[in-house]
Structure 1
Amino acid sequence: MTTLTLFSPSGAVAKPVALKRAAKRLGQLGFDVDVDADALSREQRFAGDDATRLAVLHRVADAAPSIALASRGGYGLTRLLDQLDWGRIAHSIEHGTRWVGYSDLTALQNGLVARFKGLSMWAGPLACDDFGRTEAEGGVDEVTRDCFLEAMSGALEAVGFRAPSAEFDGLEARGRLWGGNLTVLCSLLGTRHWPKVKGGILFLEDINEHPYRVERMLLQLQQAGVIDAQAAVLLGDFGGWAKVPNDRGYGLKDAVAALRARTKTPVLTGLPFGHVRTKVCLPVGATVELYVQGREALLGWQSDPRLAHGHDHDHHH
């Protein structure tokens, strides 16, 4: 049986019933679900004080379940990075634990990439957001669910998506996959938790950030030499913002154009990932290959030999 632990490393779970619903649904999908003792702890906006959440990460790492799925993101992992026993986290991954989440989990995922080669975590769904919604709120997205199940079984070896145009037709790139939430990633720049990845494939997403703020962060990465050192950049969803009269037509396309004008690195849009219902799973830290044919992009990798069932799957969005 595949063991799955639900834990809260960042923000407090606002609706305990959502976590309960997620646990039930994941159980129905065939997982042996365990909810961490502090999954519903609260201290201000956090899922327990720093010591509690640090202990949670170490406890989950030591238990080394098949899957460690975060309940939600928010904010809080940045506080723990300096105290975290990274060796224990790495040990759990070497023993087969797949850590899954996105948003604030970006800090944990990239802190790992900064320290270890050959180890990866999964950028993927969160328990409450993706498995805890009521049917009235839309329930569970089928693509998100199926992609998660495939990734967790070791069968997922590629995800496909469609770019808005064919301008990168013929592009082929290979490198280490890293990135995640743009705001969280930028907060690591200049710290010892920053992955010094050269020739990598950087993916980015964010929510509730106006395009000028997105542009400012993208240009920060470009001006720091980060974007120029990558083989390719993949942009996911950047929703949740509202236009203001001052924009006068300025939007996300302009933010992306400003970045493209300043770098030779291919910047592709359309990756189905971010604070959206439909999201794929991505192996942060793994070596991936990117192929673009016309508007069709395919991101592939070697599945984990410890989990593989010997079949080749491609999850197309």
Structure 2
Amino acid sequence: MDRRTFVKASTLGMLVSQSSLVSAATASHTSTPSVFPKRLKQGDTVALVAPAGALDQKVELDIAIESFQALGLKVKVGKHVLDRDGYFAGTDKNRAADINDAFADKNVNGIIALRGGWGCNRILPFLDFATIKKNPKVLLGYSDITTLLNGLYQHTGLVSFHGPVGISYWGQDQAQQMRRMIFDGGKFTIENQPDKDQNALTQRRNRIQTINSGSAEGRLVGGNLTVLTSLVGTPYLPDMQGKILFIEDVSESIYRIDRYLSTLQLAGKLEQLAGIAFGQCADCNPEKGYGGFTLLQIFEHYFKPLGIPAFMGGQFGHVRDNNILPLGVKVRIDADKGSLTLLESPVT
């Protein structure tokens, strides 16, 4: 083979190889049809799993069990829930095994993460996506569980629920939301509750601040901003085209929120969205002194130019009254009211 022929052949091979890589990357980030889990009912069994951080005390598990029993559910505890491996609730493979086993178990109807923390990214390579797709079930959690909700949606289409974990505060408001959404499969509007301070002359907590007015429709994806951004460049981040993105965070400096949004922008994700809802950023205080930005200023920098409906102040995130949001469900965002309306039932 002469030099010119060799160069042509090599160039063609490189183009084919690059084309294959681009196709593979595109395929891993294309939309997957939503798969809806069966609704829960009284007497169903839910499995408690610990896919991330270790429990601090066994009493936390006891409280979680009693909370779901009070909802009329039976509880099965994952085999490795009380394991410990550094700051994780067991090894990566064992934490993943509890999730795989729960989806494969015909006697389990739903799966609830006991807590977040850190660690769900590490178990993604050990999840049995084929079995999970064949056995769609309710999956509930938030914070670090953002990884599971979005990774499973991207690979299986599973509709899941961003909401209180097992060790979260479970009161009547949370119980009512769970019954209304996951037991009854209702289509309704998710919005902030009125301020419970009867002496206040106006709403003080959970106030909506509109960044861009208007409404739009799309499927809901998102979760904790820090965790979601950690999935950029991986095959576990959902396709963002035409989606409504909801995000929240906790104990982050404003400059870090800026950094995460910059990452999503540079990756071309923000410009694909149809709408944005930001919930609560608990303990995210503005930098003191000259030159600091507020959260609103950061959001305006990234969201204003997009021209899509966007608001901040939604009642979801690391707060006691954490609204449940169904990931993968078609919703309508109203940025002026700060609401998300379910356009389809999240369960079958």
TM norm structure 1: 0.85
Aligned to 1:125: 164
Aligned to 2:298: 255
Partner of 2:94: helix, strand, or coil? helix
Give identity over the alignment, percent: 31
- Return the letter of the residue paired with 1:106: T
- Return the letter of the residue paired with 1:124: G
Instruction: Find the aligned partners of 1:195 and 1:154 in 2 and give their Cα distance.
Output: 27
User: Are the aligned partners of 2:329 and 2:346 in contact in 1 as well (CA < 8 Å)?
Assistant: no
User: Are the aligned partners of 2:210 and 2:311 in contact in 1 as well (CA < 8 Å)?
Assistant: no
1:150 to 159, 166, 180: 180
Task: Mark the CA change 1:48 to 1:195 in structure 2 (over 3 Å): closer, same or farther.
Answer: same
2:241 to 180, 198, 218: 198
Q: How does 1:1-317 map to 2 (within 5 A)?
A: 1-64=43-106, 65-93=108-136, 97-117=137-157, 119-130=158-169, 140-161=170-191, 164-165=208-209, 171-246=214-289, 250-291=293-334, 294-295=336-337, 297-304=339-346, 306=348
Pairwise CA RMSD: 2.0
Instruction: Find the aligned partners of 1:246 and 1:145 in 2 and give their Cα distance.
Output: 43
- 1:195-240 CA-to-partner distances (Å, cap 9, x unmatched) read 1220000100111111111122112212221111110011011112
Instruction: Find the aligned partners of 1:157 and 1:80 in 2 and give their Cα distance.
Output: 33
Q: Which runs of 5+ in 2 are unaligned?
A: 1-42, 193-206
- Return the letter of the residue paired with 1:29: L
> Greater share of strand residues, 1 or 2?
1
Q: Which moved more, 1:142-151 or 1:75-84?
A: 142-151
User: Are the aligned partners of 2:80 and 2:90 in contact in 1 as well (CA < 8 Å)?
Assistant: yes
Shift, 1:18, TM fit: 1.5
Instruction: Find the aligned partners of 2:287 and 2:331 in 1 and give their Cα distance.
Output: 39
User: Are the aligned partners of 2:71 and 2:175 in contact in 1 as well (CA < 8 Å)?
Assistant: no
Q: Which runs of 5+ in 1 are unaligned?
A: 131-139, 307-317
Task: Mark the CA change 1:151 to 1:291 in structure 2 (over 3 Å): closer, same or farther.
Answer: same
Larger-gyration structure (1/2) = 2
Partner of 2:112: helix, strand, or coil? strand
User: Are the aligned partners of 2:120 and 2:147 in contact in 1 as well (CA < 8 Å)?
Assistant: yes
User: Are the aligned partners of 1:147 and 1:156 in contact in 2 as well (CA < 8 Å)?
Assistant: no
Shift, 1:263, TM fit: 2.3
Instruction: Find the aligned partners of 1:151 and 1:41 in 2 and give their Cα distance.
Output: 32
Partner of 2:306: helix, strand, or coil? coil
Task: Mark the CA change 1:244 to 1:227 in structure 2 (over 3 Å): closer, same or farther.
Answer: closer
Shift, 1:60, TM fit: 0.8
Instruction: Find the aligned partners of 1:150 and 1:180 in 2 and give their Cα distance.
Output: 21
User: Are the aligned partners of 1:6 and 1:35 in contact in 2 as well (CA < 8 Å)?
Assistant: yes
User: Are the aligned partners of 1:159 and 1:280 in contact in 2 as well (CA < 8 Å)?
Assistant: no
Shift, 1:113, TM fit: 2.3
- Return the letter of the residue paired with 1:164: I
User: Are the aligned partners of 1:154 and 1:304 in contact in 2 as well (CA < 8 Å)?
Assistant: no
- 1:141-183 CA-to-partner distances (Å, cap 9, x unmatched) read 33222212222203332333256356655x2311111110111
- 1:275-312 CA-to-partner distances (Å, cap 9, x unmatched) read 111111111122222245x5352421311563xxxxxx
Instruction: Find the aligned partners of 1:77 and 1:155 in 2 and give their Cα distance.
Output: 28
Equivalent residue pairs, number: 291
Partner of 1:299: helix, strand, or coil? strand
Partner of 1:68: helix, strand, or coil? strand
Task: Mark the CA change 1:20 to 1:194 in structure 2 (over 3 Å): closer, same or farther.
Answer: same
Q: Which moved more, 1:155-164 or 1:217-226?
A: 155-164
Partner of 2:150: helix, strand, or coil? helix
Partner of 2:125: helix, strand, or coil? coil
Aligned to 2:11: none
- Return the letter of the residue paired with 2:293: Y
